[in-house]
Structure 1
Amino acid sequence: MRVKKQQSFPFLRVAVVVFFGLSILLLVLFAVQMGEVKNLADKIANLEKHQAALELEISAVTGVQRTMNVNLYYYNELLDRLINGEIACD
């Protein structure tokens, strides 16, 4: 009667599969993070443009405000934004 050889657990195969699985997972996470960084960079650029436009509006409003050619509500709205810190001004 022959005795069957007991098969050992394939540790090497499991280790290789886990290694490749983790590598693929990390690559996917890296790609997702790069996409988020690009989106954040675009958002920052848009916010900087918006801030510059608001600063121009404030300078225009404060310059024109002396002649009272500007709507008082509009001026007060911009002034509230400035006071609340929503607008950075020089």
Structure 2
Amino acid sequence: MKFTSEKRSFFGYKTKRSMKNDTVWKYANKIANRVQLANVIIFIIANFILFHFTSETLAFNILMIFFTVASILIIPIVELCINKKFDHDGNLK
């Protein structure tokens, strides 16, 4: 099953801007996936480093703060990328 904005699926990056059309939606999801993958890789590396050099409690707290901030930052990063490539109607610039 292919998840697209037309089907209004549960999955995917969805903002008012990303739902303009399928082209914008696919681009936004591609960028969001890349940003999230980078976040996960950094999280895994930080996990090994922090748990090796600090206490479990401190490492856990730092990782949870990082994960929360990184997850929230996906939205402005993707919206900036959409803004650079598409106009407000969802057409390529």
TM-score normalised by length of structure 2: 0.40
Higher relative contact order (CA closer than 8 Å, sequence separation 6+)? 2
Larger Rg: 1
The structure with the largest helix share of the pair is 1
Normalised by the size of structure 1, how large is the TM-score?
Answer: 0.41
